[in-house]
Structure 1
Amino acid sequence: MKFSVIDKLFLLNALVARVTATPTSSSSLISVSVNPKAQFQEVDGFGASQAFQRAEDIFGKYGLPAVNQSLVLDLLYNKEVGAGFTILRNGIGSSNTSDSNFMNSIEPTNPGGPNAKPDYVWDRYNSGQFPLAQQAYARGLQTLYADAWSAPGYMKTNDDENNGGYLCGVTNESCASGDWMQAYANYLVQYARFYKESGVDVTHLGFLNEPQFAATYAGMLSNGTQAADFIRLLAKTIKKSGLDLKINCCDGIGWDDQEAMMAGLEAGPDPAINYLDVVTGHGYDSAPTYPLSTNKKTWLTEWADLTGDFTPYTFYNNGGPGEGLTWANHIQVALRDAGVSGFLYWIGAENSTTNSGLINLINNEVIPSKRFWAFAQFSKFVRPGARRIAAVSSHANVTVSSFENKDGRIATQLLNQGNSNVEVKVQITGLKSGASIKPYLTNNDNDLEPLASIAVAKGGSFQAEIPAWSMVTYLAV
């Protein structure tokens, strides 16, 4: 990105102001500067998954009535009602059973070898994920990322979809049954073809999930070189199929783990990175706080609080891992400091007693968490195709991010991560006097609450008060 001299001075002065700022008090005026001329990554969207039969939770597996099924779908995917998520991450199943929370494979039985004719099956259900995708697209979904946690067990070195194991045929991994790489590529493409023929488009295709971790559930191990082996083959298979599919990789268990795979993806006379559209990672082992070593788009495709009981009503108490402000900060840092283009929580909605979902469906009710409303502060107002723009604050406790949408509307998110109300003066370069700013507040007492509109003063600035421990999105309308 090239900046003019004026842009560079704008950024330098704002950074100096931030470094020399005095501590927060209710009487001090904090300055926030936004410059739409300095633009960064394009945003693809926000979302979650309903893998491992969590889609069935939405469709009444535990008794959720029809009216509440519609409500949770609207909260997740309808931007007029709820968050307006635009990315859904499906799990491509590898199981030959629906017991527990397993995801069904489209090739549940071994055909007899990697070169044998596969016996594919398609039930137009896909552990509830196919009807969910239909409903999500009807409400505004734009991206369907289908990702396999594992190849079917018979394609792997351990002959098991669970407990790690490698794909037969990748570098340093062979099987007595032969090389299953092409069969696995065909398998993944066939999954997308079944969706396409049934009226739903898979847009992005992945083949790994947390390849550094030999989980007791479905999973498959890989390093960067081994992933590169398969990416090159998958790209050729997709091209031959005629389907319009983008390739994602590799959903490392942490941001550092994904960074460690980049060298293998970049290596060789035919680098696999050239065939990738999106580099994907998770936030469990390490958070997305810096850009990955690639010029490809990057998504944070899974992260959640897996540590405690469901805490739906706390935006801020003590900075706990499931609190809304914690997740608002995670999203903002990933967008601003790591340059991600997409950010997905683990589960969108589920019947659970933990924080692994954004919305809880216990006792046949729909209970959005404060984490959900933190996501909605971004996803509702930062739409696909938006560009992150330069935004800086003069105080460390008031953090900022800002985006210009394709329709020209600017959405600026301010997080007050301090224990007192603060007064801010927001200056947006190029904003005309008399324009209207609409604020939306989320804190312990409010869920995306629309506040009174603010008129822009001469010079493109406006002033507002932000409550302690809260988040406000200012939308230039």
Structure 2
Amino acid sequence: MKQIPSPRLLLLCLGALTNWALAATPSVSVSVNPSIQFQEVDGFGCSEAFQRAEDVLGKDGLPPVNQTLVLNLLFDQTVGAGFTILRNGIGSSNNSASNLMNSIEPFPPSDSSPSSPPHYVWDGYDSGQFPLAEQAYQRDLQSLYANAWSAPGYMKTNHDENYGGYICGVANTSCSTGDWMQAYANYLIQYVRFYHEAGVKVTHLGFLNEPQYAADYASMLSSGAQAADFIRVLAKTVKESGFELQLTCCDGIGWDDQEAMLPGLHAGPDPAIQYLSVLTGHGYDSPPSYPLSTAHKTWLTEWADLTGDYTPYTFYQDGGQGEGLTWASRIQVAFTQANTSAFLYWIGAENSTTNSPLINLLDGVVVPSKRFYAFAQFSRFVRPGARRVEAASSNPVVTVSAFRNQDGTLATQVINNATSSYEIDVKVDGLETGVSVQPYLTNNEYDLEPLAEIRTTENGTFKGRVPARSMISFVASR
């Protein structure tokens, strides 16, 4: 006769299975306190400098429908990432060969004197950057950052837009043609004026890019003290122009390099730091992992994987430089540990076989990378004017950040760096019962995938599960 287990034995077995299941899926507690606020967010973005804008505009055959798709992916909040910052390159070349950016003053005055009237030219195109900026503004762009990699060569100590050199007139330079600082300041303001007269507003202005690196392309060297010499001239010129501009400095090649320039910006009876609105740095030589020594806003304005072949479908494989999880973590660290207010990748979209863009346009096909979706996990849900708020995780393998938007929505980013899924129990101080929470998942299988809606229970709590090597943004409604 077949024996039937007793009810008590069945209950014991069921309990054991339940305990095993709970033990098999680790859990983590996340706490969010919107009343404890930190830095204001200005946004996320990219650049299309060095003629990359022309890639988007179809120079190499990208069909019109895909041109629109790329613009929407980059700048439309509903369709794509909703980037709100675009970084333009102010050209310094007297031709547009290769990927050079045209100067608005390609040749010096006839007598090569900095005090002689300049001969400015404007083609209304600016290596494709002007029409692209127009399109970006139509999709809710908030900030247009015009940034010069170099002054024109005739204004510099080495007489070349490339290979470093210094702007003539700053400390410890000597130029037979004289001091070009005022001429360079006028040049930068004229670039802004051309844009404004054509109906596109430049909001931020910078005059240096990676001033520690004498590159074989447009580049210009500077110490902090030398940058301060020019900032004083530029600030006076901006004031006289009547333009509402936020001045930036100095796009150091790494966060440590930017930190090293700060003493020079603070020095003297007329500290140049007082004329700046934003301090800008890159992540190549050293990452943004600590706050710069300043009360000013800080932006991470350039960083990219410049080493690998284009890998669009890898959110995580082995922790490589181009992977989506790598960039999701970098963005989170920049905001939570370095207190940045903005984060910009190098190139938004281009025809390339490397990881330098977020979106690849080879052969007329639009292929977003997992890096792009990692950015979109933040940029779509964390809007300009948001405030970072206190957020903590009970397990360091699951990292968190949270931001309160001006419309009252709360975006909490949870990154699971582990090889197993985690059950998460989120407690948000002050959040009411029954609030809608919409999760969005990105990993190797999904791109900003909306998951089932969650409702908060008592005391503003909600539960979810984050798969291994994944990121979820939990967006709580107003």
Check whether TM > 0.5.
yes
Q: Are the counterparts in 2 of residues 279 and 296 from structure 1 also a CA contact under 8 Å? A: yes
Q: Are the counterparts in 2 of residues 208 and 220 from structure 1 also a CA contact under 8 Å? A: yes
Greater C-alpha radius of gyration: 2
Q: What CA distance in whole angstroms lies between the structure 1 residues aligned with 2:307 and 2:24?
A: 35
Counterpart of 1:452 in 2: which secondary structure?
coil
Counterpart of 1:173 in 2: which secondary structure?
coil
Q: Are the counterparts in 1 of residues 440 and 450 from structure 2 also a CA contact under 8 Å? A: yes
Q: Deviations over 1:70-98 (max 9, x none)?
A: 00000000001000000000000000000
Aligned to 1:313: 313
Determine if the alignment matches structure 1 residue 210 to structure 2 residue 215. no
Q: What CA distance in whole angstroms lies between the structure 2 residues aligned with 1:174 and 1:167?
A: 10
Determine if the alignment matches structure 1 residue 281 to structure 2 residue 243. no
Q: What CA distance in whole angstroms lies between the structure 2 residues aligned with 1:263 and 1:328?
A: 32
Q: Are the counterparts in 2 of residues 106 and 191 from structure 1 also a CA contact under 8 Å? A: yes
| Alignment root-mean-square deviation, CA | 0.8
Q: What CA distance in whole angstroms lies between the structure 2 residues aligned with 1:28 and 1:416?
A: 12
Q: Deviations over 1:311-370 (max 9, x none)?
A: 000000000000000000000000000000000000000000000000000110000000
Q: What CA distance in whole angstroms lies between the structure 2 residues aligned with 1:390 and 1:128?
A: 41
* Match of residue 37, structure 1, among 15, 35, 40: 35
Q: Are the counterparts in 2 of residues 228 and 271 from structure 1 also a CA contact under 8 Å? A: yes
Aligned to 2:342: 342
CA drift at 1:27: 2.9
Q: What CA distance in whole angstroms lies between the structure 2 residues aligned with 1:345 and 1:98?
A: 24
Aligned to 2:331: 331
Aligned to 2:388: 388
Q: Are the counterparts in 2 of residues 361 and 367 from structure 1 also a CA contact under 8 Å? A: yes
Q: Deviations over 1:413-442 (max 9, x none)?
A: 000000001000000001000111000000
Aligned to 1:249: 249
Aligned to 1:266: 266
Determine if the alignment matches structure 1 residue 177 to structure 2 residue 216. no
Equivalent position amino acid for 1:314 in 2:
T
Aligned to 2:12: none
Determine if the alignment matches structure 1 residue 168 to structure 2 residue 201. no
Counterpart of 1:462 in 2: which secondary structure?
strand
Gap regions ≥5 residues in structure 2: 1-21
Gap regions ≥5 residues in structure 1: 1-23
Determine if the alignment matches structure 1 residue 222 to structure 2 residue 218. no
Q: Are the counterparts in 2 of residues 25 and 422 from structure 1 also a CA contact under 8 Å? A: no
Q: Are the counterparts in 2 of residues 44 and 342 from structure 1 also a CA contact under 8 Å? A: yes
Equivalent position amino acid for 1:458 in 2:
E
Aligned to 2:473: 473
Segments of 4+ in structure 1 off by > 2 A?
Answer: 24-29
Q: Are the counterparts in 1 of residues 320 and 326 from structure 2 also a CA contact under 8 Å? A: yes
Summarize the alignment of residues 106-185 of structure 1 with structure 2, pairs less than 5 Å apart. 106-111=104-109, 112-185=112-185
Q: Are the counterparts in 1 of residues 26 and 421 from structure 2 also a CA contact under 8 Å? A: no
* Match of residue 66, structure 1, among 58, 64, 70: 64
Aligned to 2:448: 448
Aligned to 2:100: 102
Q: What CA distance in whole angstroms lies between the structure 2 residues aligned with 1:28 and 1:246?
A: 47
CA drift at 1:113: 1.1
Q: Are the counterparts in 2 of residues 249 and 278 from structure 1 also a CA contact under 8 Å? A: yes
Q: What CA distance in whole angstroms lies between the structure 1 residues aligned with 2:195 and 2:174?
A: 32
Equivalent position amino acid for 2:351 in 1:
N
Aligned to 1:20: none
Q: What CA distance in whole angstroms lies between the structure 2 residues aligned with 1:101 and 1:125?
A: 14
Q: Deviations over 1:8-60 (max 9, x none)?
A: xxxxxxxxxxxxxxxx9743321000000100000000000000000000011
Aligned to 2:53: 55
Counterpart of 1:325 in 2: which secondary structure?
helix
Q: Are the counterparts in 2 of residues 211 and 223 from structure 1 also a CA contact under 8 Å? A: yes
Aligned to 1:14: none
Counterpart of 1:329 in 2: which secondary structure?
helix
Aligned to 1:352: 352
Q: What CA distance in whole angstroms lies between the structure 2 residues aligned with 1:26 and 1:232?
A: 62
Q: Are the counterparts in 1 of residues 72 and 139 from structure 2 also a CA contact under 8 Å? A: yes
Q: What CA distance in whole angstroms lies between the structure 2 residues aligned with 1:59 and 1:262?
A: 39
Count, aligned residues? 454
Q: Are the counterparts in 1 of residues 205 and 246 from structure 2 also a CA contact under 8 Å? A: yes
Q: What CA distance in whole angstroms lies between the structure 1 residues aligned with 2:113 and 2:381?
A: 50
What percent of counterpart residues are identical? 69
Q: Are the counterparts in 2 of residues 26 and 421 from structure 1 also a CA contact under 8 Å? A: no
Aligned to 2:17: none
